[in-house]
Every structure is written in structure tokens, then in C-alpha cells.
Amino acid sequence: MRSLHIAIVASEIIPFAKTGGLADVCGSLPRCLAGMGHRCSLFMPAYGMVLRKGLPIEATEVGFTISMAGRQVACRLLKTRLPSSDVEVYLIDQPQYFERESLYGDRQGDYRDNSERFAFFCKSVVHAIEQLDLRIDIAHCHDWQAGLIPAYMATGFGQYGWPHRAASVMTIHNLAYQGRFWHYDMALTGLDWRYFNWREMEFYGDVSYLKTGIVFADKVTTVSPTYASEIRRPEHGCGLDGVLRDRGDDLIGIVNGVDYDQWSPATDAFLPKTYDASTWRDGKAACKAHLQSLFGLPIEPSTPLVGIIGRMASQKGWDLIIETLRQWLNNRDVQWVILGTGQREYQDELQNLAAHVPHRLGLRLEFSDALAHNIEAGADLFLMPSQYEPCGLNQLYSLRYGTVPVVHATGGLVDTVVDANTDAVRTGTASGFSFHEYSISAMEDALERALALYRTQSQTWGQVVKTGMQQDWSWGQSAAKYLAIYEDCLSKKKLS
């Protein structure tokens, strides 16, 4: 296979900025592609927090102005690399837009100028690729923040040369976040009003950046096969199911990979003791005691410990979790550790519960990589009762850390966790527990089944743990699928 040059465009990339799985994917997929002999150039905003990280960032010669509804806004291009790699990362520097407390919003909600910020980002990326003369083959655009780029490429915006040779791929990490703005913001996109129609950019009277990407990209991907079929139906289609059905076979689901250099209990520098599939009992015992002390819980080796990490949004099933905690904390011999940030009402309720039953529930309302790694290693079970889950990364990390996932059977959770029913246990394929109906009783049944196995059948529990630990969810296979899609787009482009 020939070597391709792929631009990866995203609003967050580890280790520079992260609020969720998007950042993990955009920081680790390019490493794998580069390892397979392809060149990747990454583009993201130069948020203040990125500039202050102390990473080696250089200025480039490239600077330009972008027209935003008639106003000229200056942009400087900065450059860095993904740490310990040759993968180049270009940072779009515009302090008025990107020197903010966080990425997308503050306590009051989303920043009011998000449409302007990310229209500027998309235009700047298209312009920078031209100015740098990168000659890319593929623009791989992630989520609504990069959704205008396929339209710029397809419509001859700015009369750039490179889009004639390149193809676009749009990846949906979560269909619920659509970049939907009032129709007057069409002016900010710089695209002609004739594209403001129900088949292209318009969405119920507004302009939708994600719909724009879905409609104009050469191919559309999402992050698991099950989610790809779910979003074609009204229940999970967030109003875009018709648009997605229209794309037919051009919509493909590919499970995210894991970067095992970052997420592996055998090498994890955050842990008090490393371990692998042959030493997991000793290793996890040390990590569990450490986790219990980090969260102020009594050090009890045989009490089952359930871990939860995630954004505090309704998507992640906090309603079920909180209701179960209310019922279980006082009368079950189970410990819980929870790490997350997000919606106030969930935080308040959890704080209230943790204050009443501190010996059973350890809570940290912050974003901390170190704690996330320690939970993955120290917990016995990992609970993920998401209402919907495009892919989910935490269950993949849990599998590798021998922390048995208990999940709602939706999206990527279906594609990655095999329920420990009798057949699966007998054939040695069981890797976790799943429940089908999104309800408190179904979740509690799955938890009860998991706890019973943990308490009474240590050997079978060990088999489930090891099955998960030995699985390979690294990027290799998924990156090969993306490459096949890139090639397919390019061959179709040549024919047209």
C-alpha cells in the first residue's frame, strides 16, 4: 500500500487538551498510522491551556487573516509534535477565540460564540493546508467542530488547490453534539446561502455543522458498528437518522482502539504496583488498597469495589447510578469510587450521598488522569450504564486492567463486552456483564450477578478477568479499516 498524507482535524487531542474520548482517539490513531508508514498532520486550536503546558511549541512563518462575516481576524500558526513521535501538530492560534477557561463553555453553559470560534477554526485549517503546501490525500474531520471542512472542500470555497486532490472523511464521536446554531450564523461560515436547505446545512431552521459534515464528506464513520446501525433509527438518530440513512453504505462503524502505551497495567507509572494477566491477583490487591486510601475508604481487601469514571451528563446513566446508590449504600457490603465532572444536579446528589456514607462511597469531582488510572487498576468492577454509548473507552481500559465491566448493552458496549452468561462462561468468551433494558432493576440484576460471581466463584471470576486482559483492542485493526476507507474515497475520487 502506498504511503498517504492524512490531515486529522479535531477540537481536542491528547496530551494537549481533553474532555472525552475524542481526544484519546485523535492522539492515538495518528501514532498508529504513522507507525504503518503514513504521514499525519494534526490540526487543533491553540487553547491557552495548551500553550501553558510547557510543551515545546514553535512559531511558524505562517500567519494570515480570515474573513468572518466581513471582519478580518488574524491567525498565527504554531507547531509542535505528538510527544515521542514525528507526528506534526499544527495549532491555530487566535487568543480572542481560544484563550478561555475551558474548551467549549463555562458554568453559564456553552460559549455563545462557539459557531464563530469553530467556523474560524475550520477556515483556518483549510487555509493553512494550502499555505503550508502540505499536499494531503485525506482530511479526516472529527465531530461538529470540524464539520464545515468537508463542505469547504466540496464547494470550491476560497478556490484552494488541494481539495481537488484530497478526499474527506467525517467521523461522528457522539451524534448528540451537533454544533447547531441560529441561521444567521450562515454568514460566519462564508458558505453561500444556497446551501442553507434541508438537504445540506439546514436543520429545523438552524444551521448544523455536524449535518454539514455528514452531507458533504466523501465517507462518514462512527466509532462502533452497533452505534452505526443505531443512529440510522429515530430512537438514537437525534433527528439526523434520515440524513444518515441517505448515506447508505458510506456510513461505517469502526471501534476505537486503545493506546496500550498509555493504558496498560504492566507499565502504568500511575500505579503503586504494575501487573499483567499472570500476576493480576497480587497487583490488583495492592492497587485496590491504594485506591481505597486515595478515596478515604476503609482498606478492606475482600469488599467488592465498583469504579465509575465519566462525564456527568444524563447519557452516562447517572440517574440509574444515583438511585441504586440511594438504595444500596446503607445495606450492601459494596464500596464505590466515583470520578467525574459535569452537571450540577448529579454532583450535588453524589456529594450528599458521599457525606452520609463516606465509608462506602469515595467521590472526586475533578478531572484527573492519575485517579482515572488508579480506578481502572484498583476497582474490581467498572460500571457503565450509559443510555447510549457511541464506543466507550473506559470499558476497554477496564478489560485490560482486569476490572470486570458491567454495561448497558448499547452502541460500542455491545461490540466490546461479552456477557458472562452460562454459555459464554463455558466457552471462555465471557469478559463482563451486560443488561438490555435501560432500567434500575435490569442494572441491579447485572450487578447482583457480577457480585455473586465475584464472591462465590473465584476461579470463574479469574477466568473472566483474564479473558478481558488478554484481548487486543489496540489500534492496528481499526487503523487498517480507516486506511481501507481512505483508499476507497481516493479511488472513487479519481473515477469521478
Give the closest residue to 317 by CA, choosing from 433, 177, 173, 440: 440
Closest CA to 408 of 376, 440, 431, 430: 440
Could you give the angle at the alpha carbon of 268 between the alpha carbons of 464 and 336, nearest 5°?
55
Interface pick for ligand ADP out of 124, 224, 394, 474 (rule CB under 6 A):
394
Question: How big, in percent rounded to 5, are the helix, strand and coil portions of the chain?
Answer: 45, 20, 35
Q: How far is the CB of 192 from ligand ADP (least distance, A)?
A: 34
- Min dist CB 110 to ligand ADP, Å, is 16
Which residue is at the shortest CB distance from ligand ADP?
Answer: 21
Task: Look up residue 334 and give its three cell numbers.
Answer: 459494596
Compute the least distance from the CB of residue 313 to ligand ADP, in Å. 8
309 is a contact residue toward ligand ADP (CB under 6 A)? yes
Return the residue matching grid coordinates 465532572: 341
Of 41 and 174, the one with the shorter C-beta distance to ligand ADP is 174
Rule CB under 6 A: choose which of 5, 15, 20, 187 binds ligand ADP.
Answer: 20
Interacting span for ligand ADP (CB under 6 A) from 142-150, 282-290, 309-317, 433-441:
309-317
Using CB under 6 A, count the residues that bind ligand ADP: 19
Interface stretch with ligand ADP, choices 18-26, 77-85, 144-152, 400-408 (CB under 6 A): 18-26
Kindly tell me which of 153 and 354 has the beta carbon lying closer to ligand ADP.
354
If the CB atoms of residues 255 and 391 are measured against ligand ADP, the closer one turns out to be 391
Which is closer to ligand ADP, CB of 94 or CB of 416?
416
24 binds ligand ADP (CB under 6 A): yes
Backbone angles phi, psi at 176, to 5 degrees: -70, -20
DSSP per-residue codes, 220-279: EEES-HHHHHHTTSTTTSTT-HHHHHHTGGGEEE-PPPB-TTTS-TTT-TTSSS---TTT
Applying CB under 6 A, does 392 fall inside the site for ligand ADP? yes
> In this chain, which stretch among 285-293, 333-341, 445-453, 483-491 interacts with ligand ADP, using CB under 6 A?
333-341
Among 340, 362, 402, 432, binds ligand ADP (CB under 6 A): 340
Of 311, 332, 449, 481, which lies in the binding site for ligand ADP, with binding defined by CB under 6 A? 311
Cβ within 8 Å of residue 6, ≥6 positions away:
30, 33, 38, 39, 40, 41, 136, 137, 138, 140, 486
* One residue of 229, 264, 274, 341 binding ligand ADP per CB under 6 A: 341
* Beta carbons within 8 Å of 303's beta carbon, 6+ residues apart: 333, 334, 335
CA distance 270 to 277: 18
DSSP 432: B
Per the CB < 8 A criterion, the answer to whether 337 and 362 are in contact is yes
Residue with smaller CB distance to ligand ADP, 154 or 313: 313
Name the minimum Å distance from CB 14 to ligand ADP. 8
Minimal distance, residue 200 CB to ligand ADP, in Å: 28
C-beta closer to ligand ADP: residue 216 or 382: 382
Strand 335-339 relative to strand 361-364: parallel, antiparallel, unpaired? parallel
User: With CB under 6 A as the contact rule, which of the stretches 126-134, 305-313, 345-353, 424-432 interacts with ligand ADP?
Assistant: 305-313
Smallest distance, ligand ADP to C-beta of residue 168, A? 23
CB of 77 to ligand ADP, least distance (A): 28
Residue 362 phi, psi dihedral angles, 5° rounding: -100, 130
Contact code string over 265-304 relative to ligand ADP, x by CB under 6 A: ----------------------------------------
CB atoms under 10 Å from CB of 351, counted, come to: 13
**Least CB distance to ligand ADP at residue 256 (A):** 7
**Distances, alpha carbon 169 to alpha carbons 214, 225, 240, 276, 308, in Å:** 9, 16, 18, 37, 33
DSSP per-residue codes, 85-109: S--EEEEEE-HHHH-SSSSSEETTE
C-alpha cell at 42: 494534526
Q: How far is Cα 69 from Cα 193, in angstroms, rounded to an integer?
A: 13
Q: Based on CB atoms, which residue is closest to ligand ADP, 151 or 338? A: 338
- Name the residue nearer to ligand ADP (CB basis): 163 or 340: 340
Residues 6+ positions from 106 with CB-CB distance below 8 Å: 100
Name the minimum Å distance from CB 38 to ligand ADP: 24
Q: Which of residues 356-375 bind ligand ADP (CB under 6 A)?
A: 367-369, 372
How many CA within 13 A on the CB side of residue 377?
34
Could you give the string, one character per residue 156-195, with x where binding to ligand ADP holds by CB under 6 A and - elsewhere?
------------------x---------------------
Tell me if residue 170 falls in helix, strand or coil.
strand
Stretch that binds ligand ADP, among 59-67, 81-89, 392-400, 421-429 (CB under 6 A): 392-400
Q: Element (H or E) spanning 309, and its range?
A: strand 305-309
Nearer to ligand ADP by Cβ, of 340 and 468: the residue is: 340
Contact criterion met (CB below 8 Å) for 88 and 42: yes
Q: Which residues are near ligand ADP by CB under 6 A?
A: 20-22, 24, 174, 309-311, 339-341, 367-369, 372, 391-394
